[in-house]
Structure 1
């Protein structure tokens, strides 16, 4: 697997980058450029250590974890089922809605709700409904629910389209 390491956000003028690609304490590559592509030929879990040297001779190091594996890093969360949207109130074309869903997936840490693909809220994994205020309904609106693992991995989305509010 090829990984691109990018240290171009380093502060100050850096004249030398030293890359310890396997975290063993020995630098494997030295470059003048802040970007390095490296291909790991086998599975690897460890650290990449970057040493930088500034124009005045000062040095700094950064460590970052690396995991190269053919196994998935997290279980894929299934989409929630039976996602329903109930309009609680509407003023003009702005509604408050209750979004509810079902799921038995124990890996869900939190649930996210999106409106037309934009985040609208997050609730705990034990929740099965949430109220969303200020849903603008000038046009049809896609309301979806998706799960997140404790590590931040996202699951599949599911949800209905809520019709535009009548004038």
Structure 2
């Protein structure tokens, strides 16, 4: 149970891409704070003992999954300077799940996604089309995204529908 919860929390921290409190994590994971605390300790311990570029740390704002500080210089060289990590994760979500509705994206990434989408549209990495019912927008990556990140297309493996 605990190991599966640790994996679920890892996914939550990755997808949210921002520090989360114990209560927030417990709410997303559907369990209580004590279970979250134990699973987080396990997760922090796992990351500390594996040769990973990532680490799980407790910050004043909450728990977060982040790049180890030793890799920050590499990140500066690889990521377009105008994109923050949050915007980059939002872009990754759109690339993997697109076309995705803006509503679904905000559910996945939090309300900060509105600003990030605006930024990504202005930079030309994302295209926004109003949905037929006019309530939200469809979001998908543009040719500029594929050119910049030197991708022909995303691997087909990622696009297979989930088994029902």
TM over 0.5: no
Larger Rg: 1
Alignment TM-score, normalising by the size of structure 2: 0.23
Alignment TM-score, normalising by the size of structure 1: 0.23
